[in-house]
Amino acid sequence: MIASIQAVAPHDVALSVRDLTVNLPQGMERTHAVKDISFDLKRGQILCIIGESGSGKSVTANAIMGLLPKVIRLSSGVIQLEGMNIVGMSPDKLRNLRGRVVSMIFQDPLSALNPLMTVGAQIDEVMAAHGFGTPQTCRNRAIELLTEVGLPDPELMYYQYPFRLSGGQRQRVMIAMALALEPTVLIADEPTTALDVTTQAQILQLIRDIQRRKGMSVMFITHDFGVVAEIADSVVVMEKGHVVEQGSAEQVLKSPKHPYTQRLIAAVPHLTGEDRPRPEAASNEPILKVEGLVKTYRGGSALFGAQRTVTAVNEVSFELAPGRTLGVVGESGSGKSSLGRLLIKLLDSDGGGILFEGCDIAKLSEAKFRPLRPRIQMIFQDPFASLNPRSTVGHIMTVGPLAHGMPYVQARDEARALLAHVGLDAGAFGRYPHEFSGGQRQRIGIARALMFKPKLLIADEAVSALDVSIQAQILQLLDQIQRETGVSMVFITHDLRVASQICDEIAVMQTGRIVERGPPSQIFLNPQAAYTRQLVAAIPGERPGNAGPVAANA
Amino acid sequence: MTALTANAAPSRWSNNRAARRFMRHRLALLGLAMIIFLSLACVLGPHLLPYDSLYIDLRARFAPPLTGYHFLGTDPLGRDVAARLLMAGRISLLVGFFAMVLSTLIGTLVGVIAGYRGGWVGATLMRTVDGFLSFPSIFLLLALAAALKPSPVMITVIIALTSWMEVARIVEAEVRSLREREFVLAGRMLGLSGTHIMFREILPNAMGPIIVASTLTVARAILMEAYISFLGYGIQPPLPSWGNMLNGAQQYLGSAPWLAIIPGAAITIAVTSFNFIGDGLRDALDVRDDHI
């Protein structure tokens, strides 16, 4: 592999990294963030760096930009940018390169933009920082850039503040800023991870268009093989700070050599057009029946007029049979999370009914509903925020049952048994949440929800924050639990691929309404609603109807 | 599943890290050392000194420091300043400490309930806090101290009643942001009662800011006690406090300056030390810059 790298003629390489090693401070999990990594970004190509969280891919990007935090040191290696070695370069010289020769797009476009400056002012600032042109030429150039990234009405957009823009529009502004000085190398650090699928598809399209038009070289960091399949020319696979495999996109995706790459590719969820087999002896009496459920948020102040209302959930109705899973999919703002919280009464509904085992819980007061709470449990999205950082796992698991009158010894024994059941060792009982990885924490969250032996589980984006390989394990665990306990599930997700893996039926939500409902085979292979078709088409790396380019289904 | 037993850090790792960060904060360590020294001196000192703080020796009036065994001199009645200073320290430090405990309790209670309940309950409580804050606290203190019998206990209560608002505000803001976290939703999902969620789930997560605020409250309470005692409404002679020692010293500023300088220095040292500790704790407990 090394030999093939060195064979490339130097003028064809925009960015070349050789034997880069970055140390981590003492007391961390490992001694190096990245160790002895080498790769080349060829001129006019898109290089995808893929790896799971903690693989060192973002550290690599920051090292190239000279933006490493102070505690993390670049200890050895060479980074050649357009023939110049930037390792050990003075901060002034490096600053001069940033933006002009190499620039970067960040993952979260909201926190990367200054909320107090207009979009135009921020783009001007980039140019002004490098002494480019007069205010008038800067303004013209900024409007040109806003046009180029496909923002509507660029003249008006120039005077907008970031909070008025949607996530996709903000990311377009970030791209405009990064392009302001026509850099030859663009580094994109998970630029589409925080976006909806349809927006992600647009942004990927935009990056590819601009790259082709300008002949730019792009280093694209991602954790999603679907994205790789969409845009990459070549791929570098990283694991725990090492490059385990690199090559052309075709080669890595179709015939991965390293076992880690094979595992990653195998773990990518795919659209399955197949429905799950119906469990035998399933009763047809629905455990949950939702009728015309409505939730309206009121913003602003009634006192001073200007009250705004947003209908988050609008006349939603569905049924769920025992032991079955209903997937609720939709983009952000579609009301799917509000729906989940209404079902478990963490939010109060404004109309309609929720019939749980024949009893309308929508109208019950909190005090009346509390005895029923054990029967409906929830698995939360964020495995970091959903466990109290100051409580031991044992406390987290037993506090609910204790409050409902279970004796401590019994609660403790059941908690230990459940922890073992979800794949954690018995020692986990006395430890704190921060001692566990994201996947382990999500297992704790699942075990907590199972302590009561609930009839209905609501999983709100339960795997969205996890790496693909962990995602696959958690989905397997949920499937296994459902088969063992016969619990019904409402599985809320923005990821159609995940939904297709685990759901018996899928409801597609758009602006508070269910626009289509049906088994996965219908939703993915023969979608009826225009919106569903749009969603399915936007899934990266999949061509519905055939196996898609990521073929290695191990 | 091979990774399940990996990366298990030692227990209570975050607390050790906070302790390590505090230990690196030089001024905070200095403050801590000074407070320990002052407390030990006030507890043990009076037993080691040859004079009682109330012993009047009219032959030895206005002795400057280092006269015989009067290490810090004597006052207009010939009482030993060192003995009085240490006895006064007991009162001042105890008043400061208990005023802190009381005001932290009140402030935390109000803040947690206002922050968690929100709505009209929160609004009512926080407007009460605003009401208290809008009084000039020194005048309120003086008015209360003039109306009530000024014993050390009463002074403590009065100081606490005029200084709990800041803690309440800090706690309210903290709880309001914690309330939206998913682990609180999880608590509701499990069917825990509101009281349980407030005090068992949320409160431990707000301890950092509370500890910092209460350290700074001690400093302020000591200062306040000195104020009102200096103005003659606080601790009444012959019981000494740092404030009323200053009061007694003001007419002799020219002839016997040590009478003012010594208790003044004690107040300064105690207050700055507590402030240093507060700063150190704030840096040590702030985990926001901790995302590695």
The side-by-side arrangement of strands in the sheet containing A185-189 is A102-105, A185-189, A217-222, A46-50, A234-239, A242-248
B contacts of A452 (beta carbons < 8 Å): 190
How far apart are alpha carbons A164 and A404 in whole angstroms?
46
Q: What local confidence, expressed as pLDDT, does residue A3 receive?
A: 42
Mutate to test the interface with A, among B1, B14, B177, B182 (most CBs of A within 10 A): B182
B209: pLDDT strictly greater than 90:
no
B contacts of A389 (beta carbons < 8 Å): 14, 183, 205
ipTM of the prediction = 0.74
Q: What local confidence, expressed as pLDDT, does residue B15 receive?
A: 59
Q: What local confidence, expressed as pLDDT, does residue A302 receive?
A: 55
Ramachandran category for residue B147: left, alpha or beta (phi over 0 → left; psi -120 to 50 → alpha):
alpha
The answer to whether A11 and A33 are in contact (CB under 8 A) is no
| Coil/strand/helix, residue A319 | strand
How far apart are alpha carbons A335 and A295 in whole angstroms?
9
Domain formed by A288-538, architecture: 3-Layer(aba) Sandwich (3.40)
Q: What local confidence, expressed as pLDDT, does residue B98 receive?
A: 93
Q: What local confidence, expressed as pLDDT, does residue B125 receive?
A: 93
Question: Do residue B14 and residue A434 have CB atoms under 8 angstroms apart?
Answer: yes
Listed range (A116-120, A436-440, B186-190) with the worst mean pLDDT: A436-440
CB-based burial label for A406 (10 Å; 0-12, 13-18, 19+): middle
**Alpha-carbon distances of A166 from A109, A194, A512, B123, rounded to whole Å:** 10, 12, 18, 33
* Helix (H) / strand (E) containing A1: none
Whether residue A423 lies within 8 A of chain B, CB to CB, comes out as yes
C-alpha angle A550-B1-B4 in degrees, rounded to nearest 5: 130
C-alpha angle B39-B45-B51 in degrees, rounded to nearest 5: 145
Chains A and B form CB pairs within 8 A to the count of 94
Mean pLDDT of chain B: 83
How far apart are alpha carbons A197 and A168 in whole angstroms?
10
A349: pLDDT strictly greater than 70:
yes
A552: pLDDT strictly greater than 80:
no
Domain map (residue ranges) of chain A: 2-266, 288-538
Q: What local confidence, expressed as pLDDT, does residue A301 receive?
A: 56
Q: What local confidence, expressed as pLDDT, does residue A54 receive?
A: 78
A194: pLDDT strictly greater than 70:
yes
Q: How far is B117 from chain A (nearest CA, A)?
A: 14
Question: Do residue B191 and residue A370 have CB atoms under 8 angstroms apart?
Answer: yes
CB-based burial label for B89 (10 Å; 0-12, 13-18, 19+): buried
CB neighbourhood size of A515 (10 A): 18
Q: What local confidence, expressed as pLDDT, does residue A514 receive?
A: 92
- B212: pLDDT confidence band, cut at 50, 70 and 90? confident
Q: What local confidence, expressed as pLDDT, does residue A548 receive?
A: 41
Give the pTM: 0.77
**3-state SS of A198-265?**
HHHHHHHHHHHHHHHHHCCEEEEEECCHHHHHHHCCEEEEEECCEEEEEEEHHHHHHCCCCHHHHHHH
Minimum-distance CB partner of B7 among A29, A423, A424: A29
What is the crossing angle of helices B81-117 and B26-48, to 10°?
130
What the block records as the tokens of B240 is 């000494």
Identical fold between A2-266 and A288-538? yes
Q: How far is B181 from chain A (nearest CA, A)?
A: 6
pLDDT in tens, A219-260: 999 888 888 888 899 999 998 888 999 989 888 888 888 998
| Coil/strand/helix, residue A299 | strand
Whether residue A391 lies within 8 A of chain B, CB to CB, comes out as yes
Minimum-distance CB partner of A432 among B11, B189, B205: B11
What is the crossing angle of helices B242-249 and B207-230, to 10°?
30
Domain map (residue ranges) of chain B: 92-285
DSSP secondary structure, chain B, as one string? -GGGGSS-PPTTHHHHHHHHHHHH-HHHHHHHHHHHHHHHHHHHHHHHSSS-TT---GGGTTPPTTBTTBTT-B-TT--BHHHHHHHHHHHHHHHHHHHHHHHHHHHHHHHHHHHHH-HHHHHHHHHHHHHHHHS-HHHHHHHHHHHS---HHHHHHHHHHTTSHHHHHHHHHHHHHHHTSHHHHHHHHTT--HHHIIIIIIGGGGHHHHHHHHHHHHHHHHHHHHHHHHTTSSSPTTS--HHHHHHHHGGGTTT-THHHHHHHHHHHHHHHHHHHHHHHHHHHH--TT---
pLDDT in tens, A56-77: 888 888 888 888 877 777 888 8
Peptide bond into B238 cis (omega under 30): yes
Q: What local confidence, expressed as pLDDT, does residue A550 receive?
A: 42
Closest Cα partner for A236 from A267, A268, A261? A261
Whether residue A430 lies within 8 A of chain B, CB to CB, comes out as yes
pLDDT in tens, B131-175: 988 888 778 778 877 887 778 888 898 889 888 998 999 999 999
A132: pLDDT strictly greater than 80:
no
Domain formed by A2-266, architecture: 3-Layer(aba) Sandwich (3.40)
B204: pLDDT strictly greater than 70:
yes
CB-based burial label for A450 (10 Å; 0-12, 13-18, 19+): buried
Mean pLDDT to the nearest integer, A367-377: 89
* Helix (H) / strand (E) containing A83: none
Whether residue A394 lies within 8 A of chain B, CB to CB, comes out as no
| Coil/strand/helix, residue A311 | strand
| In chain A, % of residues over pLDDT 70 | 92
Q: What local confidence, expressed as pLDDT, does residue B291 receive?
A: 38
Q: How do the residues of chain A divide into helix, strand and coil, expressed in percent and rounded to 5? A: 40, 25, 35
Query: What CATH topology corresponds to B92-285?
Result: MetI-like fold (1.10.3720)
Question: Do residue A404 and residue B191 have CB atoms under 8 angstroms apart?
Answer: yes
- A376: pLDDT confidence band, cut at 50, 70 and 90? very high
Mean pLDDT of chain A: 84
